[in-house]
Amino acid sequence: MLSKKTQYALKALGYLAGKYGEGPVLISDISKKKKIPIKFLETILLELKQAGVLESKKGKGGGYYLIQSPKKTTLAQAIRLVGGPIALLPCVSINFYEKCKDCDETICGLNKAMRITRDATLKILEKKTLSELIDRPDVQKL
C-alpha cells in the first residue's frame, strides 16, 4: 500500500505535470487544488527538488516546476524517490533488498509469489509516467 506521503507526492507531481511548461506553481495552489496539508507538501516538494525532479523559483512568480517533461519520469522512479521500495517484502526488493531472518528464500513460497507480484507491478509502473497522473475531467471513469 502506498503511504500517505507517497500518495500526496504523486498527486502533487500529477498537478505539476498538468502545469508543465506554464512556469512555477505556488505551493498554496497545489495544496488547495489537491487537498494536501501545506506543511507536509513543503517537505515533500523539497525532497523532490533535492532528488532532481523539481526546481523552484523564489519571489514574485515563484513556485515549483518539473525539471523535465512529465513523459520522462516513470511512476516507478517517483514512488522509489519518495516512498522507497515498490516490492511488498524486503526480501524481493530490487533496490532495497534485505534478507529475511526467518526463512530460506530459495524455497519460500511467499518469496516466490511476491517476486511475481513485484515483477508484474514494475512492468506497469515502469511504463506509466507522470503525464498519466494529470487529472482529465473529460475522461470517463472505468
pTM metric for this prediction: 0.87
Which tens digits make up the pLDDT trace of 67-97? 999 999 999 999 999 988 889 989 999 888 9
Residues 55 and 91 in one domain: no
Domain closes at, from 66, 101, 119: 66
Question: In this structure, is residue 59 part of a structural domain?
Answer: yes
Q: Are 81 and 57 in a shared domain?
A: no
How many independent structural domains does the chain possess?
2
- Mean per-residue pLDDT, 30-58: 95
Q: Give yes or no: residues 26 and 80 share one domain.
A: no
**Residue 64: is its pLDDT beyond 70?**
yes
Residue 117 CA to residue 27 CA, distance in Å, equals 36
Tell me which residue range forms the domain holding 121. 72-133
**pLDDT of 139:** 60
pLDDT band at 61 (very low <50, low <70, confident <90, very high): confident
- Residues 58, 18, single domain; the answer is yes
Residue 142, pLDDT above cutoff 60:
no
pLDDT in tens, 18-34: 999 999 999 999 999 99
What backbone torsions phi and psi does residue 77 show, to the nearest 5 degrees? Answer: -60, -50
Final residue belonging to a domain, choices 41, 66, 91: 66
One domain, residues 76 and 129: yes
What's residue 42's pLDDT?
96
pLDDT band at 45 (very low <50, low <70, confident <90, very high): very high
Buried b (16+ CB within 10 A) or exposed e, 22-35: eebbebeebbeebe
